């Protein structure tokens, strides 16, 4: 079975796409599959739709990584019923279309708890790129986690419009630091480099996402809201090979998978680590539910 895995933006981005690529590469070892990687698509609905139609003409399966696929994949799947489709971080379904949702909002909630416990200024921040559903849910969860830990903590938040332009994210991070933010949660891909440079210059800490950024740079990163997008990609490919089309959104979270966790830097106090471990347990048991909608104020420009 020929399956194409489609990525919007830079492939080796140290973020969502890099994690998804790991899952696609692991799947190459599965019997009976040929994996094609399609990458560097622009964040443009017409371009994504065109690429999906081209994939459907030559492949039996198509997995698109990221919420950017939500708006166009349903129509393409309906027009190409002989091809199996899946969106990782998706929310769309159909007879030949499934979505796999790595519940990054769970680790984002824990990141909010960490930020509220570790801030000295009483002001924490959130910075994302594209306004896609996973990013919006992650922002809402982070804010609710901070409020759960300390309702007096103020959260500044914004979407800068890019996942890959470090000049933009550096300017936004500098602006947030200028407003008093001393812990910044970032949901970015290749553009994280600008945020890292600005955090280092301003002397503030960052909470990363997707991969374990504490292992990369513990001086800057106080935590990382890990989300194994690779697990979603591999699960989608395995289901296609098995002839399974769930026609539903398959969740991969703390209750069912090891895809979600919060890593923390060595200087996080043991009491905070213990509190977050207890929160993770409550999330996995459904005793705490992260918010998925945020309706408060946000920054419009750096």
| pLDDT at res. 98 | 96
Angular region, 31: left φ>0, alpha ψ -120 to 50, beta rest: beta
Q: Which among 206, 252, 245 is positioned nearest to 228, based on CA atoms?
A: 252
Residue partners of 228: CB distance under 8 A and separation at least 6: 19, 102, 252, 257, 258, 259, 260
pLDDT at 159: 97
- pTM for the whole thing? 0.89
pLDDT of residue 54: 97
How many CB atoms are located within 10 Å of the residue 295 CB? 7
User: In which region does residue 231 sit, left (phi positive, over 0), alpha (psi from -120 to 50) or beta (all else)?
Assistant: alpha
* All residues at 6 or more sequence positions from 290 whose CB lies less than 8 Å from its CB, including other chains: 105, 106, 108, 109, 137, 140, 141, 144, 145, 283
Determine how many CB atoms are found less than 10 A away from the CB of residue 284: 15
Residues of the chain with pLDDT under 70: none
Q: Tokens 């950024």, residue? A: 213
DSSP 299: B
Which residue intervals of 57-132 are DSSP H helices? Answer: 70-79, 104-118
Q: What is the pLDDT of residues 15-46, one digit of tens each?
A: 889 999 999 999 999 999 999 999 999 989 99
Number of Cβ within 10 Å of residue 132's Cβ equals 22
């Amino acid at each position: 079975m020929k399956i194409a895995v489609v990525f919007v933006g830079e492939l080796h981005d140290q973020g969502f796409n890099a994690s998804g690529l790991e899952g696609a590469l692991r799947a190459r070892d599965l019997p009976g599959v040929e994996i094609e990687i399609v990458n560097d698509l622009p964040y443009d609905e017409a371009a994504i739709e065109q690429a999906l139609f081209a994939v459907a003409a030559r492949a039996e399966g198509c997995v698109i990584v990221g919420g950017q696929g939500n708006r166009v994949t349903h129509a393409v799947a309906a027009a190409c019923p002989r091809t199996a489709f899946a969106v990782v971080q998706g929310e769309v379904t159909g007879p030949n279309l499934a979505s796999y949702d790595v519940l990054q909002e769970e680790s984002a909630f824990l990141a909010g708890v960490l930020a509220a416990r570790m801030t000295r200024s009483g002001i924490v921040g959130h910075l994302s790129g594209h306004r896609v559903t996973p990013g919006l849910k992650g922002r809402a969860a982070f804010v609710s986690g901070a409020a759960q830990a300390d309702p007096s903590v103020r959260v500044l938040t914004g979407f800068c419009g890019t996942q890959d332009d470090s000049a933009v994210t550096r300017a936004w991070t500098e602006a947030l630091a200028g407003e008093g933010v001393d812990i910044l949660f970032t949901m970015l891909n290749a553009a994280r480099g600008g945020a890292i440079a600005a955090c280092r210059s301003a002397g503030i800490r960052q909470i990363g996402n997707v991969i374990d950024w504490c292992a990369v740079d513990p001086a800057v990163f106080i935590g990382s809201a890990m989300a194994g997008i690779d697990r979603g990609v591999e699960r989608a490919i395995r289901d296609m090979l098995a002839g399974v089309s769930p026609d539903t959104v398959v969740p991969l979270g703390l209750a069912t998978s090891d895809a979600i966790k919060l890593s923390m830097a060595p200087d996080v106090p043991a009491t905070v680590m213990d509190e977050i471990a207890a929160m993770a347990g409550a999330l996995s048991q459904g005793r705490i539910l992260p918010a998925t909608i945020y309706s408060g104020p946000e920054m419009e420009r750096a």
